[in-house]
Structure 1
């Protein structure tokens, strides 16, 4: 019984550490991040959304490579605006969610949930990709 409490606390600590988002490089250091869907998938969606277990391969809102684009672009959201509205980041739930905008739940609903917010470079890449037409490139 004496060992149960330390083991419990160790398990809790490990579960918190497992959910931590990897720290991004300082702004300007992630040269592979570009405002293209391929880059956003590789550098943002897969590590921050899929691998964290929030938008896994199985489920209606999967952001796994191969299905994420079709699940995002021109698809309705629960907020009365498209998940991604090509050419209009300010009317795209994805962009507003990573900002923590009040129109999509506010700061408490900012994505990724339970982790630090995306870096400015990551948010700007999403914004620029959407404003450039949200092409599948």
Structure 2
């Protein structure tokens, strides 16, 4: 009798957890850091936010992680107002990419390649930013 109870308990537990993969999938997705949080925000913080801290500096743009999305995505560039700083889904049409790749002058922008006074971002950092934009520029 005791072993039947144990078997029934195990079957009951197995039946209750049958849908657990579906139930835990959203939790796993939420636990996975976004591309922005994992790769882009740290680059912006380390390479850009020293000059673009509050949004009052040159370009009126804040690139600290807490403000970067609202300063970038869907916002017209001040240097080339017909071009969005970040056009979600289209890195080639995003002024941020033009500035970090040094192609902004070809598109009506001005100034120098970013980051100002420092080495250009690495190919991997640029690829991460391009990928983030291509995937919709989500937080």
What are the superposed Cα offsets for residues 81-107 of structure 1, whole Å, 9 maximum, x if unpaired?
Answer: 0000000001100011100002233xx
Distance (whole Å) between structure 2 residues aligned to residue 35 and residue 131 of structure 1: 14
| The structure with more helix, counted as a fraction of residues | 2
Call closer, same or farther: CA 1:35–1:115 in 2, change over 3 Å.
Answer: farther
- Counting matched residue pairs gives 98
Name the TM-score, length of structure 2 as normaliser. 0.65
Return the structure number with greater relative CO, CA threshold 8 A, min gap 6.
Answer: 1
TM-score by length of 1: 0.66
Instruction: Give the secondary structure class of the aligned counterpart of 1:67.
Output: helix
In structure 2, the gaps of 5 or more residues are 1-32
Point out where structure 1 has 5 or more consecutive residues left out of the alignment.
1-33
RMSD over equivalenced CA pairs, Å = 1.8
| Mapping of residues 1-137 of structure 1, within 5 Å | 36-38=35-37, 39-42=39-42, 44-50=43-49, 53-57=50-54, 59=56, 60-78=60-78, 79=80, 80-101=82-103, 102-103=106-107, 104-105=109-110, 109-136=112-139
> Runs ≥4 in structure 1, deviation > 2 angstroms?
none
